[in-house]
Chains A and B, each alone.
Chain A
Amino acid sequence: MTALLITAVSLLIFVVIFQISKASEYVAILKGEEHSRKQNNKINGFLMVVFLVLGLIGVWYCNEVLYDKTLLPQGSASVEGERVDSMLWLTLAVTGFVFIGTQIVLFWFAYKYQESDNRKVVFFAHSNKLEAIWTVIPAIALTVLVVIGLRNWFLFTGEPPKEAMVVEITGKQFGWIYRYPGKDGAFGKKYYKNIDNASNSLGLIWDDQLAHDDLVMEQTMYLVKGRPVKLIIGSRDVIHDVGLPHFRMKMDAVPGIPTTMWFTPKYTTKEMKEKTGNPDFQFEISCDQMCGNGHYSMKGIIEVVDQAEFDAKMAGQSPYYYTAFPDKDPANAKKDTVKLVAKPVELASKVTAKL
């Protein structure tokens, strides 16, 4: 019923607008077309300035309302991301200046030089001097932006510091899998044909000793505050993208071609909760590359903690190897002895040696 009503009302509005427009055409003919054309010209010339003024107020108002909803007030949550922000402000200053200046000139000229019987137009076809000015000045401004941009770019895409921890992140429809190298500090090899959702979600090659202590998790990725982290990014199926807006970082996850990215978290999740005043705050990983119909739900969580908490979290994780081979898990073999920390690796290596 409401739909019908809305349609009827819109239709009516259309008819009214049309009738008025038609009538104004007849009036124009009666009054003399030239006369009403000039009148329209004045109205539209005036509206050009109105649009300019209202538009600039709108730009200001939009900023008032929305600025606090962006990530800029809270600053970057990674050390490297600060460079993104500072570059962003500089670019905003340059483009903002040009934007305001040219829009004012455009609409002001439109208003000021509207048709008038008294004006004699200036036959001004070209001026090498002017054209040289507005070729050279943008070129210089852009060179500055390029130089700053590339210095940051090479830092972001360069090698991370030596003390960086390494985490592997793999996208799949529609979620993320994280892998830590475990105690040996090295990842085991993997091959996609070994993938089995139940027991080997990444396709680890169990013949590789290095894989036996690898930790695989799906819910949350833990990172350490102040410690650079290098992400090795991969995908199991289609192209995904690891989007980390708070850290100002982003990199595609491409099947068959590993990519990397690194950054240094500046605040723990807890600190961010206080900083933003939002008790539900989380560092969310958003998939930023269209990956199928569940794309919008492909969320991951990064929890930044301090080193002690991180160590505790990692110690509580059981290597993925035991998920694949529960019978090899010492925790299952002797349920009463919990404090088996070093043995699983030995045990596992014996098993593979036999195989």
Chain B
Amino acid sequence: MSNEAVLHAPAGAGLHHEAHGDHHHEHHHETFISKYVFSMDHKMIAKQFLITGMVWAVLGGLMSVLFRLQLGYPEASFPWLEDILGKWAEGGKITPDAYYALVTTHGTVLVFFVLTAGLSGTFANFLIPLQIGARDMASPFMNMLSYWFFFAASIVMLSSMFVEFGPFSGGWTAYPPLSALASASPGSGTGMDLWLIAMALFVVSSLLGGLNYIATILNMRTKGMSMTRLPLTIWALFFTAVLGVLSFPVLFSGFILLIFDRNFGTSFYLSDIFINGVGALPNEGGSAILYQHLFWFLGHPEVYIILLPAMGMASEILSVNSRKPIFGYMAMIGSLFAIAILAFLVWAHHMFVTGLNPFLGSVFVLLTLLIAVPSAIKVFNWLTTLWRGNIRFTPGMMFSIGFVSLFISGGLTGIWLGNSALDIHLHDTYFVIAHFHIVMGVASMFGMFAGIYHWFPKMYGRYMNNTLSYLHFWITLAGAYMIFWPMHYQGLAGMPRRYYDYSVWESFKQFAELNRFISTVAMIVFAAQLLFLFNFFYSIFKGRKVTTQNPYGSNTLEWTAPINPGHGNWVGEIPEVHRWAYDYGKDGQEFISQTTPVGADESSH
């Protein structure tokens, strides 16, 4: 079956999920622009999200290498830094202004552009239609807009790095008054304006995407694909989209008020402020804490927006490569649902030491620690999925195992930080950095790598190089632990985050050697990611070709589509679904595709 034979459903109108077989057997002559740039094919949009996300991941990662240089080698000077950063690294030493700009942009970019857009943008787009049996998204046009809003946000964010006083430098959470007053921090001037515009565009992109994902999952499942037959990837992506749609508007409202405070003289967040060199500001009666409530009302669900897709993909990949059904399918959905609900009820655990009412704080302690229960269910279910399986260590599988390991390590420290009386000591120290980088940053990144390795053959019809993948996995897993594990100890010494230099602090300077170690490992791990990038782009063009339709012996629908599916995904009718996605090792059969009708003599699950 050649690619040319693949049918192209007319964009927007050609979604015949109900009327199977009602196809236009014709060829679209797509231009370069309509195929690769303003594409409405969900698979191409997914790749656009992925590659844009990769560009940001490289930039964001490079930023972390630069500021780790400062932390690891505070005394040294690197003349080449001045060559690339100019006045931001005079004499080869990164200035505090540049350091804070790097830290802030690293956080913003990694959280939003890489792990939100890059992760759910890629896999929601790629997997939803393919795994539910639809020819495309509910609205391919909106889907395209979603990408291009993200692209616009990227351009604005990128441009903020080139303005006179530099990009925003007040931390990715952008707490006012610091973020509201250019006189308090040079980065809060034009840099912050651009940051807000970029984020506003990003919210639009995220909403357009999220609404589309929800509509598609609810309305466009193929015949027989009931909600309880969906693969867990789709459930996870569904809850992710719901979280995004309900919480991003709140963030947006917080930004609108901030824009008003910055530009139109309102006092939503400002009160009783005297700035050196400027004097007392006229604003009175605002509450700086209000912003934090609005921000974290998105900010916490955002953590799960990042984490859930990784959980979903890990569940699917662990099951496929253990050749065993995922253990506790309904419990997995139930725990995803519980996490999604609780995600909205825990935001103030980021604010225990803001002077929050202690009683309110105690409610948030209770709800926060409650999240550990569904998380524990998920972990034990993954472990049981491995138990007595027949495990194939594909690169995707290894990254999924790595994901589980990291999720455990980082999740457990959440029990420390969610308990307010302990948080008093650990809040805003390196302990927090270690916690969220492991559980949210690296773990989700592992989920993303798992997804890329696992579905690469479906995306490009070729395989990635296995040796490079294994190297990438082991270096990254060991490196991630070596970077973030010791940070717990720094946190236990009370070492605050976001410090440019610790050498003048009697309480924290004992970690100079450790900081150097961490920075060195960070550089090596960053270099290992270049291996991955090279592997990825090289394999798109030169990788071994996929020769079988279903290389993993997988049950889900994407493997019933042609090796290189065209726009419309399936030739002829959309397959009908007769069973759930996890009949692996049932009745002595290695796998039973979802499209196989239930036999009369089959044992029920």
B523–chain A nearest beta-carbon distance, Å: 10
| Residue among B270, B489, B511 facing the most chain A CB atoms (10 A cut-off) | B489
Query: A197–B276 contact, CB under 8 A?
Result: yes
Residues on A lying within 8 angstroms of B by beta carbon are 3, 10, 14, 17-18, 20-22, 24-25, 28-29, 37, 40-41, 44-45, 47-48, 51, 55, 58-59, 62-63, 66-67, 69-72, 81, 83-84, 87-88, 91, 94-95, 98-99, 102-103, 105-107, 109-110, 113-116, 119-127, 130-131, 134-135, 138-139, 142, 145-146, 149-150, 152-154, 156-158, 172-173, 192-193, 195, 197, 203, 233, 236-239, 241, 243, 245-246, 248-252, 254-260, 278, 280-282, 284, 286-297, 299
A97–chain B nearest beta-carbon distance, Å: 10
Chain B residues near A67 (CB-CB < 8 A): 489
Query: B175–A284 contact, CB under 8 A?
Result: no
Supply 16 further A-B pairs (C-beta < 8 A) apart from A113-B388, A130-B380, A149-B421.
Answer: A14-B531, A20-B467, A25-B465, A98-B412, A122-B324, A135-B377, A149-B419, A157-B358, A192-B273, A251-B355, A256-B285, A289-B175, A290-B171, A293-B185, A297-B501, A299-B504
Chain A residues near B393 (CB-CB < 8 A): 40-41, 44-45, 110, 114-115
Query: B481–A55 contact, CB under 8 A?
Result: yes
Chain B residues near A257 (CB-CB < 8 A): 271, 287-289, 355
CB contact under 8 A between A150 and B421, given known A41-B393, A123-B605, A124-B388: yes
Alpha-carbon distance A287/B391, docked complex (angstroms): 50
4 cross-chain pairs, A with B, having the tightest CB-CB distances, nearest first: A245-B494, A256-B271, A259-B355, A157-B358
Alpha-carbon distance A91/B419, docked complex (angstroms): 10
A94–chain B nearest beta-carbon distance, Å: 7
Alpha-carbon distance A42/B79, docked complex (angstroms): 47
Asked if B401 is an interface residue, CB under 8 A from chain A, the answer is yes
User: Using a CB-CB cutoff of 8 Å, which residues 478-537 of chain B contact chain A?
Assistant: 478, 481-482, 485-486, 489, 492-502, 504-508, 510-511, 514, 527, 530-531, 534-535
Query: A241–B287 contact, CB under 8 A?
Result: no
B77–chain A nearest beta-carbon distance, Å: 13
User: Using a CB-CB cutoff of 8 Å, which residues 368-393 of chain B contact chain A?
Assistant: 369-370, 372-373, 376-377, 379-381, 383-384, 386-393
**Who on chain B is nearest to A233 by CB?**
B355
Q: Out of A10, A28, A71, A292, which one reaches B494, CB within 8 Å?
A: A71
A-B contact pairs, 29 of them (CB 8 A): A14-B530, A55-B481, A58-B482, A62-B485, A105-B383, A109-B386, A109-B387, A115-B393, A121-B584, A121-B585, A125-B329, A131-B328, A135-B373, A142-B372, A142-B415, A145-B419, A154-B358, A156-B421, A157-B361, A172-B274, A172-B276, A192-B272, A192-B280, A195-B274, A238-B175, A248-B424, A250-B428, A251-B355, A257-B287
Alpha-carbon distance A26/B446, docked complex (angstroms): 28
Chain A residues near B588 (CB-CB < 8 A): 120
Asked if B159 is an interface residue, CB under 8 A from chain A, the answer is no
Alpha-carbon distance A286/B270, docked complex (angstroms): 24
CB contact under 8 A between A125 and B422, given known A44-B470, A98-B412, A292-B185: no
| Residue among B419, B420, B508 facing the most chain A CB atoms (10 A cut-off) | B419
**Who on chain A is nearest to B277 by CB?**
A197
Query: B387–A138 contact, CB under 8 A?
Result: no
Asked if B36 is an interface residue, CB under 8 A from chain A, the answer is no
CB contact under 8 A between A284 and B506, given known A51-B477, A121-B390: yes
Query: B384–A124 contact, CB under 8 A?
Result: yes
Asked if B169 is an interface residue, CB under 8 A from chain A, the answer is yes
A2–chain B nearest beta-carbon distance, Å: 10
Query: A124–B170 contact, CB under 8 A?
Result: no
Alpha-carbon distance A340/B525, docked complex (angstroms): 67
Alpha-carbon distance A260/B481, docked complex (angstroms): 37
Alpha-carbon distance A249/B409, docked complex (angstroms): 26
Asked if B327 is an interface residue, CB under 8 A from chain A, the answer is yes
Alpha-carbon distance A103/B383, docked complex (angstroms): 10
Chain A residues near B412 (CB-CB < 8 A): 95, 98-99
**Who on chain B is nearest to A23 by CB?**
B467
CB contact under 8 A between A110 and B401, given known A62-B485, A249-B424: yes
Query: B383–A70 contact, CB under 8 A?
Result: no
Give the number of chain B interface residues (Cβ < 8 Å).
131
B204–chain A nearest beta-carbon distance, Å: 27
CB contact under 8 A between A282 and B486, given known A121-B585, A292-B185: no
CB contact under 8 A between A99 and B408, given known A287-B496, A293-B97: yes
Query: B379–A153 contact, CB under 8 A?
Result: no
Asked if B295 is an interface residue, CB under 8 A from chain A, the answer is no
| Residue among A47, A123, A287 facing the most chain B CB atoms (10 A cut-off) | A123
Asked if B353 is an interface residue, CB under 8 A from chain A, the answer is yes
Alpha-carbon distance A258/B272, docked complex (angstroms): 11
Query: B416–A91 contact, CB under 8 A?
Result: yes
Alpha-carbon distance A31/B178, docked complex (angstroms): 63
**Who on chain A is nearest to B466 by CB?**
A40
Chain B residues near A71 (CB-CB < 8 A): 492-494
CB contact under 8 A between A123 and B324, given known A103-B405, A157-B361, A293-B169: yes
**Who on chain B is nearest to A52 by CB?**
B405
| Residue-wise interface mask of B (263-297) relative to A, using a CB-CB cutoff of 8 A (1 in contact, 0 not) | 00000001111111000100011111100000000
Asked if B365 is an interface residue, CB under 8 A from chain A, the answer is yes
Query: B514–A152 contact, CB under 8 A?
Result: no
Chain A residues near B506 (CB-CB < 8 A): 278, 280-282, 284
Give the A-B contact count at a CB cut-off of 8 A.
373
CB contact under 8 A between A243 and B366, given known A21-B471, A91-B415: no
Query: B178–A292 contact, CB under 8 A?
Result: yes
Asked if B586 is an interface residue, CB under 8 A from chain A, the answer is yes
**Who on chain B is nearest to A292 by CB?**
B185
Query: B496–A238 contact, CB under 8 A?
Result: no
A45–chain B nearest beta-carbon distance, Å: 6
| Residue-wise interface mask of B (410-442) relative to A, using a CB-CB cutoff of 8 A (1 in contact, 0 not) | 001101100111101101110000000000000
Query: A256–B288 contact, CB under 8 A?
Result: yes
**Who on chain B is nearest to A236 by CB?**
B274
Q: Out of A84, A94, A290, which one reaches B422, CB within 8 Å?
A: A84
Q: Out of B171, B331, B398, which one reaches A131, CB within 8 Å?
A: B331
Chain B residues near A248 (CB-CB < 8 A): 424-425
Query: A149–B428 contact, CB under 8 A?
Result: no
Chain B residues near A292 (CB-CB < 8 A): 170, 178, 184-185
Chain B residues near A21 (CB-CB < 8 A): 465-468, 471, 535
CB contact under 8 A between A70 and B408, given known A126-B327, A157-B361, A281-B506: no
Alpha-carbon distance A37/B358, docked complex (angstroms): 58
B143–chain A nearest beta-carbon distance, Å: 34
Chain B residues near A135 (CB-CB < 8 A): 373, 376-377
Asked if B190 is an interface residue, CB under 8 A from chain A, the answer is no
Chain B residues near A131 (CB-CB < 8 A): 328, 331, 377, 380-381
Query: B181–A241 contact, CB under 8 A?
Result: no
Query: B419–A146 contact, CB under 8 A?
Result: yes
Asked if B260 is an interface residue, CB under 8 A from chain A, the answer is no
Asked if B49 is an interface residue, CB under 8 A from chain A, the answer is no
Alpha-carbon distance A119/B271, docked complex (angstroms): 69
Query: A255–B389 contact, CB under 8 A?
Result: no
B184–chain A nearest beta-carbon distance, Å: 5
Query: B370–A121 contact, CB under 8 A?
Result: no
B286–chain A nearest beta-carbon distance, Å: 7
Chain B residues near A40 (CB-CB < 8 A): 393, 466, 470
Asked if B155 is an interface residue, CB under 8 A from chain A, the answer is no
**Who on chain A is nearest to B78 by CB?**
A3
Query: A24–B467 contact, CB under 8 A?
Result: yes
B311–chain A nearest beta-carbon distance, Å: 15
Chain A residues near B392 (CB-CB < 8 A): 37, 41, 115
Chain A residues near B508 (CB-CB < 8 A): 286
CB contact under 8 A between A293 and B353, given known A21-B471, A278-B506: no
